[in-house]
Structure 1
Amino acid sequence: MGPEEPRSIEDRKDRIKEIDSRIGELDAEFTGTVMSPEAREEWNALNEERDGHAGAVREMEARRERLRQIAGQPAATERGDSPAPAFIKSRGVDIYDERQIRAEAHSEEEYRQKVRDNAKRAIERAAFPTVAGQSRERTAEHVEDLLERVDGKDSWLARRILATGHPVYDRAFGKAVMAGPHTWTAEEQRAMALSPDPAGGFAVPFQLDPTVLLTSDGSTSPLRQIARVEQITSKTWQGITSSGVTVTRSGEAVESGDNSFSVGQPEVSPTRVIADVQFSVEIDQDWPQLRSELSRLLMDAKEREEDSSFVVGDGTGDNPFGVASTLAAGSEVPMGAAGTLDVDDLYNLESELPVRFRSRARFLANKSTYNHVRALSTGSDGGDLWVRLASGQPSELLGYAAHEASAMDSVGDTDGRVLLFGDFSQFLIVDRLGMQVELQPHVLGATNRRWTGQRAIVAIWRNSSRILVDNAFRVLVDPTT
């Protein structure tokens, strides 16, 4: 569901202020140059929306004035077509102020509902960076869906959105990144003191947070596109798995057979990942420009780490359980000849996967292995193996989608797991929502431990992965000695 259309005069005036602020940001971001297509589309949409709200305000103000005249009341002094400056709060209401919400709520349930409603309004107002190939509307819908689907009884996510989505918090976060916390005003210090990360550091504004913004279709990671992805606000994800329910038929008044089945209860506890983002103090950008670049850098670093760890992580210590490296040995299918991929190897791999998993099955391999397959496709016995589809869609191998993962083993690697085939809905990725950062104002050189003229942001987030059902996968193994 998209953001709710403002209805009252006050809401429309608030929205006009937000639009004016965002239009100013866009103009500053592209000073002296033409706008990108995405920015121009946003600029046009914002101006069109503003004109609509301004027209509606004028009409409603005129109706109000007419009613006052009928009732014999004095004319209003406020004009609907001249919204108050952005720094004046309409009717004294601050949607981001959790303390005000707490004071006005008459029960815990009313408090939670107000926090969630205000968080949705904050999402509507947020200026999301244009990243991950997604429109602003789709990003907003995804964050709102997290509120409905993931947020717990403590409203942790809603409270985080309100705390980090406040314009003062965003401004203070930008100042800390660009120059350091010593540049904060008293108002900005108070906003940052409400950071929802009591363990230390600063919570990343939710508009920039890759753990909140990333969705499966917005990610370049093949595993996030095809795996089961769950977001949590607690420490551990807990689920239930089963090899299947047995069904039997029985006659009238005849005792049914034993239909019992075993149930597994897997748990995944996300572990910490750290990224070090360094940049020069001479960077010639202001915060509105740098915030989009920062979001892209964090997303790129996060995806590159996951592309490896979710495939070959060994599951020991803090490492995820990689889909290729931790698959049970019983799911291995050996190649017919060491170091040589043959057409029969592909068909054997397909036939070894249980029928119930084939309807959703996909291939995963690195580019080198797919090149071996393409070489087979040129022969008389392999002409129909490989199908190239339109841009934006994965190619197909034996009629199944084929995805690329550079961390997979190659043909010729000793005991290499070179081609994975299975139902990836049985591979789970768990994200703990919320990224926080530590600021490092002076990066020291490795030689003399002197300042390099750089600053750094140390970003911290948590995730992990594991296979839920080993029998949902088969992997082709090259038994090279």
Structure 2
Amino acid sequence: MAAIHEELEVLDREANGGDLDEDATRTWQELERELRFREGEVRAFERTERLRQSRERWASTQFSPTQDPFADDVRTLPDRAAVDRSMAVVDSSQGGRHLRDDQKERVARILRTQTGDTDGALIGRLLLATENPHYRSAFQKIAASTSPVFTPEESRAIEQVGLIKRAMSIGSNGGGGFAVPVLIDPTIIMTAQGSENDILRLARVETITNDTWRGLSSAGVTWQFHQEAAAATDNSPSVAQPEVPTHRADGFIPFSIEVGMDWPGFAEQMSMLLAEGYDELLAHKLTLGSGNDEPTGMVTALDAVTSPANIEIASASVLQASDIYGLWAELPQRFRRQANTAWLSSTDVQNTIRQLGTTDPNFSVDITQEAIPRMFGRQYPMNDYMADFPAATGTQPLLVLGDFRGYLVAQRAGMQVEFLPMLFDVTNNRPTGQRGWFAWARVGADVVNDAAFRLLINRSA
């Protein structure tokens, strides 16, 4: 509440006695709503505290200030209650015990999101339904047992999750399977820190609750100076409305029959198994995906761009320092200075650039430097799905430079799994002592701001 008062004071001081502009007015109203909510929390806390003191005096056992977040049907909860109870589960010692701090922060950010593409309250309801102890125990039986027997409470929990998943369905998603509990679902908890995929780490990632991300993009408004009382010119920007559809990604995940059955251990193991193959698939498709029933890869999208045109190296199959300087100079300055601006190429191309250090001190030949090297002050991770340096003429994409926020990854919240009770050796048809999960999710990606990137390609002649 003190922080809110400080923000209100800043807004009032910036207005300098005048009216608030549209953005400031909207911020002021949001802060006032937040302040009223926090004041209500204080009053609720005071009531609870008075009740606690009364119980201590009279040793009463008629009331309890503790609220079970799973006590009510999550479909009937108000949006705010669904979000608050979900946050309580994430912060609890049991629910979020296996999560890192960055994963908890990501879940909290998604729960607070309310846009046309993302309904945080709906994800909160899914979280409460799938993290309910009865659904967790049922899911463990589903994921590790050939013939699960459910209690009445587990059956009701499974039914409730199914109803929420149907309410979330848009388009022609495949039926069947069981919803992965939200706090082990890589489409929700996977973060940059937990991914080896550099494009995913640097790109703009949106977790959505529909099948297509829809946004707005613009090159921005052009400002000008004018004489006093001179008429303003029309600086209306050209606004595009990019759409990024999601596509089904599926994978088969074998695991040993010794998988742990206590929830924190089970959750940690399963979360890791689900994420590993999914992350590697995304590393490939976010680079070279065709866009046909799969995400459009960054290199695929940029290679097809005609404005701004791709930049050829000066001499076919010969990389020179001037090619790198030229690519850097071609990227507009407003994109060169962004925190998410980076280079990207295969290891072979990066090694070729390192060798330029024998003649130009701006390039390094020191292969013992940090794991993610830098060039011109910007990160330079490697991606071996990109082409090696060619030995002849061609049009191979060699090096990407840009603000990676211009590439958007849209992940549909919610992964499904089906259990396969026994795997067999392909040569002798004998059981291997392994079981498997067939898992699927929906994800899409595309470049939403072509101007934020430049692509260096080989010379065709």
Q: Tell me the TM-score normalized by structure 2.
A: 0.76
What is the alpha-carbon distance in structure 2 between the residues aligned to residue 95 and residue 234 of structure 1?
26
1:461 corresponds to which of 441, 448, 451: 441
Q: Does residue 421 of structure 2 align to residue 441 of structure 1?
A: yes
Report SS of the residue matched to 2:344: strand
- Specify the code of the residue in structure 2 equivalent to 1:397: M
Structure 1 contact 176–183 (Cα < 8 Å) conserved:
no
The alpha-carbon distance between structure 1 residues 115 and 355, as it changes in their structure 2 partners (threshold 3 A), is closer
What is the alpha-carbon distance in structure 2 between the residues aligned to residue 172 and residue 264 of structure 1?
46
- Specify the code of the residue in structure 2 equivalent to 1:162: L
| Deviation larger for 408-417 or 202-211 | 408-417
Q: In the TM superposition, what whole-angstrom CA distance separates every residue of 1:357-397 from its partner, at most 9, and x where no partner exists?
A: 221232011211111111111x1x32222398998773211
| Deviation larger for 141-150 or 192-201 | 192-201
Report SS of the residue matched to 1:415: coil
Report SS of the residue matched to 1:295: helix
What is the alpha-carbon distance in structure 2 between the residues aligned to residue 302 and residue 235 of structure 1?
18
Q: Does residue 295 of structure 2 align to residue 320 of structure 1?
A: yes
Task: Report how far residue 350 of structure 1 moved.
Answer: 1.1
Task: Report how far residue 436 of structure 1 moved.
Answer: 1.3
| Deviation larger for 388-397 or 157-166 | 388-397
What is the alpha-carbon distance in structure 1 between the residues aligned to residue 285 and residue 52 of structure 2?
62
Query: What residue number does 1:372 align with?
Result: 352
- Specify the code of the residue in structure 1 equivalent to 2:283: D
Q: Does residue 194 of structure 2 align to residue 214 of structure 1?
A: no
The alpha-carbon distance between structure 1 residues 395 and 320, as it changes in their structure 2 partners (threshold 3 A), is same
Query: What residue number does 1:114 align with?
Result: 81
Report SS of the residue matched to 1:421: strand
Report SS of the residue matched to 1:259: coil
Query: What residue number does 2:380 align with?
Result: 402
Q: In the TM superposition, what whole-angstrom CA distance separates every residue of 1:159-208 from its partner, at most 9, and x where no partner exists?
A: 10111011121111111111135332232222222223343211111121
Structure 1 contact 98–159 (Cα < 8 Å) conserved:
no
What is the alpha-carbon distance in structure 2 between the residues aligned to residue 168 and residue 138 of structure 1?
27
Q: Does residue 231 of structure 2 align to residue 231 of structure 1?
A: no
Structure 1 contact 150–231 (Cα < 8 Å) conserved:
no
Report SS of the residue matched to 1:404: coil
Q: Does residue 155 of structure 2 align to residue 189 of structure 1?
A: yes
Q: Does residue 140 of structure 2 align to residue 140 of structure 1?
A: no
Query: What residue number does 1:415 align with?
Result: 395
Structure 1 contact 101–114 (Cα < 8 Å) conserved:
no
Query: What residue number does 1:383 align with?
Result: 361
The alpha-carbon distance between structure 1 residues 150 and 264, as it changes in their structure 2 partners (threshold 3 A), is same
- Specify the code of the residue in structure 2 equivalent to 1:140: K
Structure 1 contact 142–213 (Cα < 8 Å) conserved:
yes
Q: Does residue 283 of structure 2 align to residue 344 of structure 1?
A: no
Task: Report how far residue 91 of structure 1 moved.
Answer: 8.1
Structure 1 contact 129–295 (Cα < 8 Å) conserved:
no
Query: What residue number does 1:176 align with?
Result: 142
Report SS of the residue matched to 2:397: strand
The alpha-carbon distance between structure 1 residues 112 and 354, as it changes in their structure 2 partners (threshold 3 A), is closer
Q: Does residue 292 of structure 2 align to residue 292 of structure 1?
A: no
Report SS of the residue matched to 1:382: coil
Query: What residue number does 2:133 align with?
Result: 167
Q: In the TM superposition, what whole-angstrom CA distance separates every residue of 1:84-137 from its partner, at most 9, and x where no partner exists?
A: xxxxx97895421442883xx7xxxxx22222222222222244465xxxx634
Task: Report how far residue 217 of structure 1 moved.
Answer: 3.7
Query: What residue number does 2:284 align with?
Result: 308
- Specify the code of the residue in structure 2 equivalent to 1:473: F
Task: Report how far residue 478 of structure 1 moved.
Answer: 1.7
What is the alpha-carbon distance in structure 1 between the residues aligned to residue 289 and residue 75 of structure 2?
44
What is the alpha-carbon distance in structure 2 between the residues aligned to residue 249 and residue 234 of structure 1?
43
Task: Report how far residue 222 of structure 1 moved.
Answer: 0.8
What is the alpha-carbon distance in structure 2 between the residues aligned to residue 472 and residue 77 of structure 1?
64
Task: Report how far residue 260 of structure 1 moved.
Answer: 2.5
| Deviation larger for 181-190 or 396-405 | 181-190
Query: What residue number does 1:52 align with?
Result: none
Report SS of the residue matched to 1:383: coil
Structure 1 contact 313–319 (Cα < 8 Å) conserved:
yes
Report SS of the residue matched to 2:323: helix
Unaligned ranges ≥5, structure 2: 1-48, 167-174
- Specify the code of the residue in structure 1 equivalent to 2:165: D
Query: What residue number does 1:429 align with?
Result: 409
Structure 1 contact 240–264 (Cα < 8 Å) conserved:
yes
What is the alpha-carbon distance in structure 2 between the residues aligned to residue 422 and residue 121 of structure 1?
39
Q: In the TM superposition, what whole-angstrom CA distance separates every residue of 1:322-369 from its partner, at most 9, and x where no partner exists?
A: 111221144311112222221111111112222332212320112111
What is the alpha-carbon distance in structure 1 between the residues aligned to residue 217 and residue 360 of structure 2?
38
Structure 1 contact 389–396 (Cα < 8 Å) conserved:
no
Structure 1 contact 96–122 (Cα < 8 Å) conserved:
no
What is the alpha-carbon distance in structure 2 between the residues aligned to residue 446 and residue 129 of structure 1?
39
What is the alpha-carbon distance in structure 2 between the residues aligned to residue 383 and residue 168 of structure 1?
63
- Specify the code of the residue in structure 1 equivalent to 2:113: R
What is the alpha-carbon distance in structure 2 between the residues aligned to residue 77 and residue 406 of structure 1?
65
| Deviation larger for 392-401 or 453-462 | 392-401
Structure 2 contact 74–82 (Cα < 8 Å) conserved:
no
Task: Report how far residue 421 of structure 1 moved.
Answer: 0.7
Report SS of the residue matched to 1:439: strand
Structure 1 contact 339–480 (Cα < 8 Å) conserved:
no
What is the alpha-carbon distance in structure 2 between the residues aligned to residue 100 and residue 357 of structure 1?
44
Query: What residue number does 2:177 align with?
Result: 201
* RMSD of aligned residue pairs (Cα, Å): 3.2
What is the alpha-carbon distance in structure 2 between the residues aligned to residue 148 and residue 390 of structure 1?
43
For these two proteins, the number of residue pairs brought into alignment is 392
Q: Tell me the TM-score normalized by structure 1.
A: 0.73
The alpha-carbon distance between structure 1 residues 77 and 321, as it changes in their structure 2 partners (threshold 3 A), is closer
| Deviation larger for 155-164 or 385-394 | 385-394
Task: Report how far residue 150 of structure 1 moved.
Answer: 4.5
